[in-house]
Chain A
Amino acid sequence: MSTIHPANTIPSLQGGERQTRRFSFGLDKISLLLVTLYLIIPLAATLAFGLSNGKALDFSTYPHILADPDFTQTLVLSLELSLAATVLTILLVTPTAYWVQLRLPQVRPLMDFLALVPFAVPAIIMALGLAEVYGTPNTLISVLSFGLVPLLSNPPFNILNTAPLLVCAYVIISLPFVYRSIDNSLRAINTKVLTEAAYSLGSGWWRTFLTIILPNILPGVISAALLTFSTAMGEFTLASLFSIYTFPIYLNVTGQNDAHKAASLAILSFILTLICVLGIIFLVRLRPNRAQNEDKLDIVAAK
C-alpha cells in the first residue's frame, strides 16, 4: 500500500504541496534527520568504544571474547532456550489460531484477551507470579489448575527456577506479537474456503493444516518465530530472577568489570537482532498481500 502512495500524491498535489513545502520541510525532515542520527550515534560510538583501548585502536577484544568459555557457554544456552521457546510457541499458537478461526470463532475475544495480558503483566511481574505459583503450595491454585501446579512444583518435575519454566515464560511473553502475526496471516488467506475445498477432496484436519494452510501462512509463521527468537535471546528479567546464566546475564556481569568488552558484546547482540529483523523484513516482502502494513506493528521486544 504505502509504496504506491508517493506516486499517487505527487501529480495530484503539485499545487498544494508547492505552497506548503517550506513549512513541512522545516519540521518533519529535520526531526527525521535528528532521529536517524540519534539511532545511529550510540551504535557507532559503541563500536568505536569497543574497538578502542582508551588511546588507540585495539582489535584484541573480539578474540578475547571468543576465547572466554563463559561466552560460548552462555551463548549456547541462550540459543538452546530461544530455539525451544520458538518451537514451542509456533507449535502451540499456529494450530490453535487456525482451529479458533475455523471451529471456535466465538472464543476469538478470549484469544485477543490472552494475547493482550502480557502487556499489562510485564516480565518482572510474571517472574514474581511464577515464583509464587510454583514456589508456595496453595490449595486454591491446585484446584484451579486441575492438580497440575502441585504436579509441576514437586519432584520429579519441580520446575521452579529451571530452564523449562523459563521457556514457558518466554512463550507467554512473545504471545502478543506471535498471535497477531499468525492471525493476520490466517485472515489474509481465505482459510474457510481452502479448508472446505481440502475436506471435500477427502483431506483430514492435520493433512489440510500441514499441506494447505501452513504453506500459505509460512511467511507470517516464520516472522513470528524470528521475533520470538530475538526476544528470547535478549531476555534478561526472567533469566536473572530465576538465576539462569544466559547470554544477557553474562553481558551484564561482564559490563560491571570491563566496559570495553561489554561494548563489543553489545555490538554482537545488535548483530544478532539485525539478522533476525532482516529475516522478518525479507519474509514480509515475500508476502504479496495487504497484510504488509499491519505486520510492522508487531515488533515489540522485551525490555
Chain B
Amino acid sequence: MQLRAATGTADPTTTEAPAAVKTRRPGGINWSYTLTSWLGFIPFLLFCLLFELLPAAMIMEGSFVNSNTGTLTLNNYQRMLSQASNLHAFQTSISLSLVTALIGAVIGFLAAYGVYNLRTSWLRNFIIGFSSIAANFAGVPLAFAFISTLGVTGFVTVLLLHWFHIDLYNGLNFSIYTFWGLVLVYTYFQLPLMILITVPALSALKPEWKEAAFNLGASNFIYWRRVALPVLMPSLIAATMLLFANSFGAFATAYALAQGGINLVPILISFVVNGNVDIDTGLGNALAVGMIVVLIIAVSLYTAMLRRVSVWQGR
C-alpha cells in the first residue's frame, strides 16, 4: 500500500494531475495504475510470446496435425512409435543422459565434497573458477578437443601407443565416435556443472550437526547415512535432473563429434529442419514433443526438489 501511494506520483498517466493522486484511497483497486503496471510488462511478454511460447505451441499443435492435409490426426505419434529407429533414438538419448548425469552426479559430488573440505583457499577458488570455464566450454570446440585427445591420431591415443604400447583403437576396440566416447565427452561438462551446483549446497551442512552426531556416538558412515545425505538429497536429485536435462537437449557436441553418426533424438530432429526427405514435419514435431515430455518430467522434478532444498537452507 505504501508503495502504491509512493509510486503513483511517477505514474506516466497521472503526472499531469498530481491532485488526483492525493485523493486516491489506498484501499480500492486503482484501474489506471494496474493498467500501466501491465503495460510495462507487455514488451517482454510479447517478445517471449513471439520467440518462445508460439514456437513451442506450434510444435505441439503440429504434432497432432497431418502436415499434408491439415486435419487432426494421431498418425504422427503412431509413426514415431512404430519405427524402430525412432524408439532406438529415444533409448540412446535417454540412456546417454542418464549415464552421464549419474557419473557426473556421483563423481562430481565426491569432488565437490573434496572442494568443500579444501583448506587452501586459492586452490579452492582455482578449482571453482576452472569448473565454471569447463562447464561453459561445450559444443563444437569441446568435440574437437576430444578428437584431438582421444581420436584415432589424438595426442593421448598416440602417447599411450608409444609409451605404454596400449592400442586404444585396434587393441581395446575403443572409439570416441561411439556411445561410450560420447559419454566421455559429455562427462567433461557434466562434472564441473555438478561441482558448481553442489559446493554451495554443501554449505547447508552445519558443522554442529556433525559434532552432535559424533558426540552421540555416530560413526562417519552413520553420520552420512542418517544426517548428511538426507539433508543433501533434494539438492542432489535436483542437480542430477539438471545434468540430465543439460545433456538430453545437447545437439552441437554430438553432431560435431559424429556428424550425425550417432542416432540421438536431437540429431533426428535436425534432419527435419534441414529438409531431409526421410522425416517429415509431422514426425519431427512428434519427436520434439516426445523430448519436451521427457524434459518436463526432469525439470518439474528439479523445481520440486529445489523447493524442498529451501527448507534446509533457510531461504
Give the interface centre of A32, A149, A259 by most chain B CB atoms within 10 Å.
A32
Considering the complex, which residues of chain B in the window 288-308 have a beta carbon less than 8 Å from any beta carbon of chain A?
288, 291-292, 295-296, 299, 302-303
Nearest A-chain residue to B53, judged by Cβ: A117
Q: Given that A120-B292, A125-B292, A149-B54 are known contacts, is A269 also in contact with B141, CB under 8 Å in the complex?
A: yes
Q: Given that A39-B188, A171-B47, A237-B251 are known contacts, is A34 also in contact with B107, CB under 8 Å in the complex?
A: yes
Q: Pick the residue among B47, B200, B245 that contacts A296 (CB under 8 A).
A: B200
A152 to B50 CA separation, bound complex (whole angstroms) = 10
Q: Could you say which residues of chain A place their CB within 8 Å of the CB of B17?
A: none
Q: Could you say which residues of chain A place their CB within 8 Å of the CB of B146?
A: 42
Which one, A69-77, A193-201, A212-220, is touching chain B? A193-201
Give the interface centre of A41, A103, A123, A130 by most chain B CB atoms within 10 Å.
A103
Nearest A-chain residue to B126, judged by Cβ: A36
Rounded to whole Å, the gap between the CB of B62 and the closest CB of chain A is 6
Q: Per-residue CB proximity of A7-46 to B under 8 Å, as 1/0? A: 0111011011001100110011101111110110111011
- B44: interface (CB < 8 Å): yes
Q: Pick the residue among A42, A122, A128, A172 that contacts B188 (CB under 8 A).
A: A42
Contact between chains at A35 and B195 (CB < 8 Å): yes
Considering the complex, which residues of chain A in the window 60-104 have a beta carbon less than 8 Å from any beta carbon of chain B?
92-93, 95-96, 99-100, 102-104
A32 to B113 CA separation, bound complex (whole angstroms) = 8
Q: Given that A149-B54, A277-B129, A303-B246 are known contacts, is A32 also in contact with B47, CB under 8 Å in the complex?
A: no
Rounded to whole Å, the gap between the CB of B31 and the closest CB of chain A is 14
Size bracket, chain B contacts: 35 or more
Contact between chains at B256 and A236 (CB < 8 Å): yes
Contact between chains at A41 and B156 (CB < 8 Å): yes
- B193: interface (CB < 8 Å): yes
Q: Could you say which residues of chain A place their CB within 8 Å of the CB of B48?
A: 114, 172, 175
- B207: interface (CB < 8 Å): yes
Further pairs besides A119-B245, A300-B135: 13, Cβ < 8 Å: A2-B200, A12-B207, A41-B149, A41-B156, A42-B145, A99-B41, A124-B270, A125-B55, A126-B55, A192-B3, A236-B139, A252-B140, A277-B133
Ranked 10 nearest A-B pairs via Cβ: A129-B55, A122-B249, A32-B114, A303-B250, A31-B110, A236-B252, A49-B148, A28-B114, A45-B155, A293-B200
Residue numbers of B with Cβ under 8 A of A are 2-3, 6-7, 9-10, 12, 15, 37-38, 40-41, 43-44, 46-59, 61-62, 107-108, 110-111, 113-119, 121, 127-149, 151, 153-156, 187-189, 191-193, 195-197, 199-200, 203, 207, 210-211, 214, 220, 242, 245-253, 255-256, 259, 266, 269-270, 272-274, 281, 284-285, 288, 291-292, 295-296, 299, 302-303
